[in-house]
Structure 1
Amino acid sequence: ADGTHLFAIHKADSRLIVFDLTQTIPARVQEIMVGLEPITVRQRTGNELWVVNHLSDSISILDWVTGQITATLLVGDEPSDVVFAGNPQRAFVCVSQENLVRIYDPTDLTAPPVEVPLTQNDPWALAVSPDGQSVFVSALNSGNDTTVISAFDVDDAGGPPPPNPPMDPDLPQPPRVGLIVQDESGVWRDEVGGDWSAYAGYHLYDHDVIRLDAATGSILQSYSGVGTTLFGLAVHPVDGRLYVTNQEALNRTRFEPNLRARFVQNRISVIDPGTGTVVATHLNPHIDYDNPAGTPGERALSLSIPTAVAIASDGSAVYVAAFGSSKVAVLDQFGTVQHRIPVGDGPCGLALDEARDRLYVLRRIPGRIDMVDLTDDSVTSLGMGYDPTPPVIHTGRRVFYDGVNSSAHGDLSCASCHVFGDMDHLAWDLGDPQGQFVEGQSQAHAGFHPMKGPMMTQPLKGLADTAPFHWRGDRPALSDFNPAFVSLMGRDQELSPTEFSDLESFLFSLVYMPNPNRNLDGSLPNPPAGPNATNGHQLFLTGKLVDGGGDCVECHENPSGAKPLIIPFVLLPGDQDFTVPQLRNEYDKVGFDDTAPWTLRGVGYTHDGTEDDLDTFFDSRDFTFHDQQERDDVEAFLLAFDSGTHSGVGAQWTMDGTNEAAGIVRVQTLAAVADLGEIGLVAKGRDTSGDVRGWAYMGGAWQSDRASEPAWTLQDLLNLAGDGRDVTFTGVYAGWENRLGIDRDQDGYLDRDELDAGSDPGNPFSVPNPADAPEPTLTAGSMRLEPLWPNPAVRAARAAFDLPENAPVSVTAYDIAGRQVRSLENGATMPGGRHELSWDLTDDTGREVASGLYFVVVRSGDETRTRRLVVRR
């Protein structure tokens, strides 16, 4: 890099943003669409950047000067990072869901990559040694050498240690439960030191960080004891020490009262790669854990969810982004906090500009960059362009991650265990010996005892239509988790109804990644031999595999596999009632083998993780398989269970004029899936005039980003490819094709039309006809109407507006001819503040409106605000 430009990822808008740093206030000079959920950008040469697209399973290789995508490399499931090392230079790509690194020759992308399997769970971050001879890989969900002894083994051994605090004598006999143990120098010990090695004949690799030879890709060394959840990784530029930001989970400790406000520590670990020595430093040594209530001063200093890390060129200062604390911590080279710099919400990326005494901080809530002047820690916030995220999602995301608001000491949040809204791949015993017993639904049900035993952290994705929640179904609604902010997080009171409503909105927006075990068209694999998911699906539906002649689907209903049913304990192994869980992430639980001497994970399937694989689960239940083939087939189906996100979402292909034969079937498959409404499909490239263009697939034809142009065909787009005019096709979520293809800011004006007219397609307040748009800057006391979302809308649209004071309001939808279509609010007086309304896209008679352009008008007093809405049927 020449130090004149900054490259930043705008995840929410699927774009790479380029800033010119030679200006007093850095200005955006390029905004290039890449793949879905871009999370990493690295510069290989002067003009060439590699952008890692986590959802698209790809890397976008582009020329940032021209803004052209030159190649799209399909690298595997959920890539997370890329670095360049070795001589000749090679590209090392971290493929998190496949637990491996793929090594590419960047000068010949057609050459097969070298694959390096890793004994890691979700390898995540990469770094290169100062001499360029080693590449280091850290694992996101690395674990902490814990596993669970089954309830039956614990019972055989005479039971768990006595509870502390003692059990309330008025409680009934507790159920038999498992016990979390931790490997201490080869011995499995419980929280009081009891030896359980006789019941666990395996050990965990715990390879938190692995060192690769940059020349050969071979594994040279591994480092353990670094942390449980590892986020950022950086190398000291002088002496080569590794700095790893991480969380350490204290899940061996039993019971919620003992874990209250202290279940995770936020740390940085420093590794000497030569000696293998690991020194972990607590980033919050100021916390007084003997005062469970905490103090405002304590919370103000705390650092939560340490993510990105950057190191000064002389190694004298280490910068750490605290995602859950809205701070950047400045550490010395030993990991001791020297001071803290307040920044905006959700800091997740760092770039040092030592020539200008600046630190650039990428923020996620919302997508912005904070420019820190390191001479006085002053902050200037830089916009990243259009952010399509609804405001309520930003607000809810803040509640989810914010340690200061969530916890007594300011260091914990929901995300401390539900990492990025997912699992931490650990079991926790959050029972309470002094808690209350809840009677069962009937005499056949055991009821809910407060000493419930170890339970796996569950993802918070795909929650719609999966109530009741938690393993036992003891939370009828998400709001029933609100007491945990007091009993577990240590707050003095629950979240307010507004805060929890915002949190719910965010959580219900989370979805799973596409299942990598399904075909691109969404179908199940149907191989001629071996495990067959297609046959497994049929057995799941009609195979009568449940003892007594029942079918799996009778409980595990489609589409999620969940059912609002609490099964009595008498029908299950063990002593507790359980609900029917969803099955959308079974593929993400593999890696535990309790028959091997060494295994990757210490937990697997069922509520406490003690079943190491699905075949073992089948053994422990009364299933009636006829042979091993049927077992293998059903297991294959469960590992390919529909995640709720179509396999075509994120899928890409770049046509360059030479690879049409290799990619045409892929593109045609995506178009066929889009015709079914399962996904959207867009294309990006340049036309024969050299203009940057976009297209959205609209059922057999392609709408360009110039409204006056006739529809394009696929062949028209293929004819463009070549001579530096590569065309990149991307499958997107259904309904996103307009925004990502032709109308980025959803203002009703197409992107190229805006560029031709001199307006900004990434700013809904900038349109070709300024008189037709809201003022970009509103005076104090003005009413504000936010962009409608989603836009285009298929089933419903939401309008959010702010009132400066109490006032009567009318909200009306009109068609393009100016005729009233629907009155959404008719003069009712509303209090000052933010309001949201939903339009179900029906008219005043209850009939669905047709596809087309509509206007939503909000009037209050003498003020009127208008937004455009595209409806697609």
Structure 2
Amino acid sequence: MPGPRPTIGPQTFVNFESGQVRPLALSRDGTRLYAVNTPDNRLEIFSVGATLTQVDSVPVGLEPVAVAEDPAGRVWVVNHLSDSVSVVNVTASPARVEQTLWVGDEPRDIVFAGAARERAFVTTARRGQNSPVDPGLNTPGIGRANVWVFDSTNVDDTPGGSPLAILTLFGDRPRPLAVSPDGLNVYAGIFLSGNQTTSIAPDTFIKSPPTTSADGIAQPDTGLIARFAGLSWVDDQLRDVSAYVPFTLPDYDVFEIDAVTLQEKRRVPHVGTILFNMAVNPASGKLYVSNLDSRNSVRFAGVASRADSTVRGHVTEQQISVIDSATVSKRRLNKHLDFSVPIASNVDKSLSVSTVLDMAVSNDGTSLYATAFGSNKLAVYNTQTLEDDSFVPSTTMQIAVSGGGPSGIVLDEARDRAYVHTRFDNGISVIDIAAKTEVLHLELHNPEPAAVRDGRKFLYDATLTSGNGNDSCASCHVFGDTDGLAWDLGEPDETTQPIPNVFIPISPAATPARFHPLKGPMTTQSMRGLRGHGPMHWRGDRTGNNRVGGETLEEAAFKEFNAAFDAFAALGGELNADDMQTFTDFAMGINYPPNPIRQLDNGLIANQIRGEELFNNGVVRIQTGQLEVCRQCHTLNPAAGLFGTRGLSSDNSQPGERNFKIPHFRDQYQKVGMFGFGFNTAPERGPQVRGFSFNHNGATSSNFIIADLGMPQDDLLALRAFLYAFPTESPPILGQQLTFTATNAAQTTSRVSLLIQRGLVQSPVRECDLVAQGVIDGERRGWLMDQGGDFLPDRASGEILTRAELESQVDTADESLTFMCVPWGSGVRIGLDRDLDGILNGDE
């Protein structure tokens, strides 16, 4: 049986594994370096000279991932989990948060553009409790990427701020931003942009060989992956399957926005599958986009000696795409590799770069510096040879970066320096760009436990975990989550295996109760929230059945993925037991973020309440006349850490292989965006932003999901609404903030009251700790609310204050306090005692 359940109790640190986007910024005068401290929820400020000297550390929101300076010298920090932007006055002493701007869900990047670069542009998903934009979860053919625009010259202390505009782009969630050299155009990129592939549901398709397992058992009926080939949709045999795909996928990846009129000017398609960062050449205006192109139309994994294809050693193309006007040129960065030989020589492997994130271009436009996150190096390219594809990979143009996981870069050409953020150890490296060597490395304060710090590299480091340095686990499990794609990764050389998993009594296993190695297309599942949720993979074929010692089922199941290092990344073997244990400890600690659809008070609106009733009480299926009760299979019990599954299996009664693990529902809202065939309704034939949606193969459209139950339309929409608002281990209030000033007290009453209310919740589990941090009487201060609603100070000699007494501390224009709900158990660390040494911050 699965278990034990996730830890339901206070934790001093919770890992969300947020992907950094723009973690460094250099002040315009070159005297200050600003760095986000993602795990410590701070902005770190350094004086720049012959060395880096830290001068301040400013608490901001949860999981800061991007930073930029506005024309007035204030620093804006994007807080990924808090759905906010902290506006920091860095000329004050100490520096302080003047305002917290509320934005949409999961903000990622920020730039300043406009005639005087006075406008802030922030990318977010089209959802979130602080967004006035209808997420349109049941509306086909709409953009689901937002760009929020603020006027940096008009930021007052109105709670949450007031955006100048919220733009919608025809893509799924966005990530990178860039600005033209004149500041008049902004470029926005779609994060998981797709690649014109989709899944087709099982329909007795004749597959390309092999069609049996190695022990001669015929493959069950499965769907297939289709790709758009210019005029039609084709499968791996180039058969026209257009009749099975009613919609279109325009695959718009990069959007150009007029920074003055805020109108979309053009859309650039087919840049890449997963877009990370963008940089503009200041001399030519050409745009560089770091990205992966996923090869999910290639079937099979492992050696696949019985087949003609496999992704082994070549899961993705590592790319920088060059956009010049409307022309896109994709440049393969590892063109030295012969992918027909999956395990490369040591020389070739040393040349590879993996998961290029942030980039910077020299002022004269001749050199591009790229952070190879999965290779622990800084790669330098001559822009001309990159653009014309005549570059030759060379170690002389690669700079080793200690610390691991270089994620951000800024150039300081006046000093011949580059500053590089390293995610693995939460540090900063100083690079001599003339000598091409690292001259200094320092680590930021890091509250992450050893399991996180030691295990992270096994997710991302392609040099460590692959045979040629091209791919890592994160090529598909992007930042520990998903790539939004389906893959047909059966292993033809394997045999069928018995299913040892426990099935729910009302749905025993269908015969034959065996896992077939040719499993057909299945969507990439997240690595979040694994603890307590049973066997892994859609079928539960990582069973965890061979546990040793005190292992949980989930730990043992995760260790069965050790074989994937060779089957996918061509490592030539497996990780040793100690390394796999370290990776397992890391993976078990990744958590889901809050649901952005559910109300901040953890409640439901009317149609979601009706949906919850249907979920609990059941629906009569039109085909059978039988009552089907969702909760009988999909257990929801937050107090026990159950969010849609107990880790058991069932017969799903669908075509083809039928024995599947019962899935959780914490990510349903993320799958909306592919509308196609409906149930007894006309198909949607217009353009969509996603090629994969619901079910294990991603073939079930957003307008078909659960419609086949045959319930009335209002009930159908209500049940979907509840599923989209399904809770996670992180309550909706987590990370939410408000900055309190001497002049906005009357406007902040309701939001502060909400934060206090949620901080006092005891049942079914505690929701959060409430902290208040800011500058009072010229000193940085912090408080933590106790369970009586009073606030404990960050000094042993300080007085415990009531809410009114705390708010009265803010009585001048140069004082402010930011209230924030943080994970239960982390309030002491975040609000009172940063290093948990027993000496409060105010006494150190």
TM-score (norm 1): 0.82
Aligned residues of 1:80 and 1:96 also touching (Cα < 8 A): no
Q: CA deviation at 1:96?
A: 3.1
For residues 428 and 51 of structure 1, what CA distance do their matches in structure 2 show? 36
Q: CA deviation at 1:82?
A: 1.6
Q: CA deviation at 1:395?
A: 1.2
Note the alpha carbon deviations across 1:716-768, whole angstroms, 9 max, x for none: 221123422011111101111111101011111000110xxxxxxxxxxxxxx
- For residue 210 of structure 1, what is the aligned residue in structure 2? 255
Q: CA deviation at 1:179?
A: 1.1
In our comparison, the structure showing a higher alpha carbon Rg is 1
For residues 213 and 42 of structure 2, what CA distance do their matches in structure 1 show? 56
- For residue 33 of structure 1, what is the aligned residue in structure 2? 59
Letter in 1 for 2:125: S
Note the alpha carbon deviations across 1:41-62, whole angstroms, 9 max, x for none: 1000343111111100000001
Note the alpha carbon deviations across 1:213-255, whole angstroms, 9 max, x for none: 1111111111112111010101110111000001110110111
- For residue 41 of structure 2, what is the aligned residue in structure 1? 14
- For residue 410 of structure 2, what is the aligned residue in structure 1? 351
Letter in 1 for 2:644: G
- For residue 596 of structure 2, what is the aligned residue in structure 1? 516
Q: Decide which of 690, 713, 723 is 2:778's aligned counterpart.
A: 690
For residues 544 and 40 of structure 1, what CA distance do their matches in structure 2 show? 46
Shift in CA distance, 379/545, structure 1 to aligned 2, threshold 3 Å? farther
For residues 104 and 392 of structure 1, what CA distance do their matches in structure 2 show? 39
- 1:231 has 2:276 as partner: yes
1:260-271 map, 5 Å: 260-271=312-323
Shift in CA distance, 169/369, structure 1 to aligned 2, threshold 3 Å? closer
- For residue 714 of structure 1, what is the aligned residue in structure 2? 803
1:834-845 map, 5 Å: none
Shift in CA distance, 133/489, structure 1 to aligned 2, threshold 3 Å? same
- For residue 316 of structure 1, what is the aligned residue in structure 2? 366
For residues 456 and 219 of structure 1, what CA distance do their matches in structure 2 show? 32
1:592-603 map, 5 Å: 592-594=674-676, 595-603=684-692
Q: Decide which of 81, 85, 94 is 1:59's aligned counterpart.
A: 85
- For residue 463 of structure 1, what is the aligned residue in structure 2? 530
Q: Secondary structure at the match of 1:482?
A: helix
Shift in CA distance, 715/453, structure 1 to aligned 2, threshold 3 Å? same
- For residue 400 of structure 2, what is the aligned residue in structure 1? 342
Aligned residues of 1:308 and 1:320 also touching (Cα < 8 A): yes
Letter in 2 for 1:674: G
1:443-522 map, 5 Å: 444-476=511-543, 477-522=557-602
- For residue 81 of structure 1, what is the aligned residue in structure 2? 109
For residues 10 and 384 of structure 1, what CA distance do their matches in structure 2 show? 10
- For residue 586 of structure 1, what is the aligned residue in structure 2? 668
User: Alignment RMSD, CA only?
Assistant: 1.7
1:620-659 map, 5 Å: 620=708, 623=709, 625=711, 627-659=712-744
For residues 160 and 390 of structure 1, what CA distance do their matches in structure 2 show? 50
For residues 640 and 545 of structure 1, what CA distance do their matches in structure 2 show? 23
Q: Which runs of 4 or more aligned residues in structure 1 lie more than 6 Å from their structure 2 counterparts after TM superposition?
A: none
Aligned residues of 1:563 and 1:579 also touching (Cα < 8 A): no
1:164-203 map, 5 Å: 167-168=212-213, 170-203=215-248
Letter in 2 for 1:634: L
Q: CA deviation at 1:279?
A: 0.7
Structure 1, 84-93 or 220-229: larger mean CA deviation: 84-93
Aligned residues of 2:425 and 2:443 also touching (Cα < 8 A): no
- For residue 835 of structure 2, what is the aligned residue in structure 1? 745
- For residue 6 of structure 2, what is the aligned residue in structure 1? none
Q: Decide which of 448, 452, 459 is 1:400's aligned counterpart.
A: 459
Shift in CA distance, 183/727, structure 1 to aligned 2, threshold 3 Å? same
Letter in 2 for 1:610: A
Q: Secondary structure at the match of 1:667?
A: helix
Q: Percent identity?
A: 37
Structure 1, 425-434 or 191-200: larger mean CA deviation: 191-200
Q: Structure with the greater relative contact order (CA < 8 A, sep ≥ 6): 1 or 2?
A: 2
Letter in 1 for 2:841: D
- 1:540 has 2:615 as partner: yes
For residues 112 and 237 of structure 1, what CA distance do their matches in structure 2 show? 29
For residues 14 and 650 of structure 1, what CA distance do their matches in structure 2 show? 10
For residues 650 and 76 of structure 1, what CA distance do their matches in structure 2 show? 13
1:401-420 map, 5 Å: 401-420=460-479
Q: CA deviation at 1:440?
A: 4.1
Which structure 2 segments of 5+ residues have no match?
1-27, 128-144, 156-160, 305-309, 501-508, 544-556, 637-641, 677-683
For residues 340 and 693 of structure 2, what CA distance do their matches in structure 1 show? 35
- For residue 105 of structure 1, what is the aligned residue in structure 2? 151
Structure 1, 436-445 or 635-644: larger mean CA deviation: 436-445
TM-score (norm 2): 0.85
For residues 215 and 511 of structure 2, what CA distance do their matches in structure 1 show? 21
- 1:372 has 2:431 as partner: yes
Which structure 1 segments of 5+ residues have no match?
527-531, 755-873
Letter in 1 for 2:533: T
Note the alpha carbon deviations across 1:526-579, whole angstroms, 9 max, x for none: 3xxxxx11221122112355663341111001231013222135x334333111
Letter in 2 for 1:374: I
Q: Decide which of 514, 539, 552 is 2:630's aligned counterpart.
A: 552
For residues 170 and 600 of structure 1, what CA distance do their matches in structure 2 show? 41
Q: Decide which of 364, 376, 399 is 1:326's aligned counterpart.
A: 376
Letter in 2 for 1:104: F
- For residue 124 of structure 2, what is the aligned residue in structure 1? 95
- For residue 299 of structure 1, what is the aligned residue in structure 2? 349
For residues 445 and 514 of structure 1, what CA distance do their matches in structure 2 show? 39
For residues 299 and 645 of structure 1, what CA distance do their matches in structure 2 show? 40
- For residue 751 of structure 2, what is the aligned residue in structure 1? 666
Number of aligned residues:
734
Q: Secondary structure at the match of 1:12?
A: coil
- For residue 139 of structure 1, what is the aligned residue in structure 2? 190
Aligned residues of 1:368 and 1:381 also touching (Cα < 8 A): no
Q: Decide which of 158, 161, 169 is 1:118's aligned counterpart.
A: 169
- For residue 733 of structure 1, what is the aligned residue in structure 2? 823
Note the alpha carbon deviations across 1:765-813, whole angstroms, 9 max, x for none: xxxxxxxxxxxxxxxxxxxxxxxxxxxxxxxxxxxxxxxxxxxxxxxxx
Shift in CA distance, 323/169, structure 1 to aligned 2, threshold 3 Å? closer
Q: Secondary structure at the match of 1:744?
A: coil
Letter in 2 for 1:162: S
Shift in CA distance, 443/270, structure 1 to aligned 2, threshold 3 Å? closer
Letter in 2 for 1:650: G
Aligned residues of 2:428 and 2:444 also touching (Cα < 8 A): no
Letter in 1 for 2:698: G
Q: CA deviation at 1:692?
A: 1.1
Q: CA deviation at 1:679?
A: 0.4
Aligned residues of 1:448 and 1:576 also touching (Cα < 8 A): no
Aligned residues of 2:70 and 2:152 also touching (Cα < 8 A): no
- For residue 704 of structure 2, what is the aligned residue in structure 1? 616
For residues 620 and 66 of structure 2, what CA distance do their matches in structure 1 show? 45
